[in-house]
Amino acid sequence: MGEFFADRRIVVTGGAGFLGSFILEKLRARGCGAILVPTVEEYDLVKAADIERMYDDMRPDVVIHLAAVVGGIGANREHPGKFFYENLMMGVQLIDQGRLRAIEKFVAIGTVCAYPKFTPVPFKEDDIWNGYPEETNAPYGLAKKMLLVQSQAYRREYGFNSIFVLPVNLYGPKDNFDPASSHVIPALIKKCVDAVDSGADYIECWGTGSASREFVYVEDAAEGILLATEHYNSPEAVNIGSGFEITIKDLVKSIAKFTGFAGEIRWDSSKPNGQPRRCLDVSRARSEFGFEAKTDFDEGLKATIKWYRENRNAV
């Protein structure tokens, strides 16, 4: 397993981020001798000149493109233009320069937000074009989905080996707990822990709680991405998930239980629920490169809560 990574220069965009930190840890464990992380301070990957300079400086064999402008429903509603433009320009130009420089492989990381709003459950990769994404995050989802189009087009015309890996919602230690941009699990953990500490007798949650979501523990997602990097060389998108679905209402109950919050949960139905359901068919990843998520959801939640409690003054 380690030989593939030991002999190659691997650039990980977004390597300083949440998922990136776990990718780097697993690359080191695989014996990768040349892990290269373009930092935002040194390279603005929205700009073509910075992308070209990054390729000149780092000379990668493989690029794993994790860098993205992301956030929860609120952030997507507030910044649809920014989320569309910056995600599209980063990905499209990174792939094109990778092709021009004949790198060995490009790994584009997509998003479950690319799926249509009303996709049959579980989401199969072949259903990705059967409708428009959920409106609140459609600009982000479509920007990411264009990398699948580009990867397939470049494979057909140029023989360029670019793959599109599509992880479901991530969670785990080191997640983003900023209320302005966090996703649902860290946002709820922060609300519950803060309420316990302040003695608040209620928390407010968006929507009705009826929507369902699938979550994959960040360490499992990192493993799936690296297995795909080594073994998957096909034009079709491939899902990375846990195969486990939970309603937001039940998710809140679990987080309240594990944080010790015993107060009232108030639902603000004037706020959007987001996509009605999300649950991926993960059979392609299992059959193509043997990926299966290992982390029990409750244990993953407990580990995430523990990390937040120990590190919240620093995040």
Cβ(235)–Cβ(297) below 8 Å: no
Q: Report pLDDT for 183.
A: 87
Which pLDDT belongs to residue 276? 87
User: What percentage of the chain reaches a pLDDT higher than 90?
Assistant: 89
What confidence score (pLDDT) does residue 181 get? 80
The pLDDT score that the predictor gives to residue 33 is: 86
pLDDT band at 95 (very low <50, low <70, confident <90, very high): very high
Across the chain, what does the average pLDDT equal? 95
Q: What is the pLDDT of residues 226-254, one digit of tens each?
A: 999 999 999 999 999 999 999 999 999 99
Q: What is the pTM of this model?
A: 0.94
Task: Determine the CATH number of domain 2-171+215-242+277-295.
Answer: 3.40.50.720
Burial string for 23-41 (b: 16+ CB within 10 Å, else e) reads bbebbeebebebbbbbeee
The residue-averaged pLDDT of 55-64 equals 98
- Interval 173-209: pLDDT, tens: 999 999 888 889 999 999 999 999 999 999 999 999 9
Provide the residue ranges of all domains of the chain, joining segments of one domain with +.
2-171+215-242+277-295
Quick one: pLDDT at residue 228? 98
CA angle 86, 90, 95 (to 5 degrees): 155
pLDDT digits (tens, 9 = 90+) for 114-171: 999 999 999 999 999 999 999 989 999 999 999 999 999 999 999 999 999 999 999 9
Give the pLDDT confidence score for residue 109 in this predicted structure: 98
Q: b/e per residue, 201-240, with b = 16+ CB within 10 A?
A: eebebbbebebbbbbbbbbbbbbbbbbbbbebeeeebbbb
What pLDDT does 314 receive? 78
pLDDT at 2 over 80: no
Which residue numbers are catalytic?
A: 140
Nearest CA-CA partner of 166 in 60, 71, 68 = 68
Q: What residues are paired with 12 via a beta bridge?
A: 64
pLDDT tops 80 at residue 72: no
pLDDT at 273 over 90: no
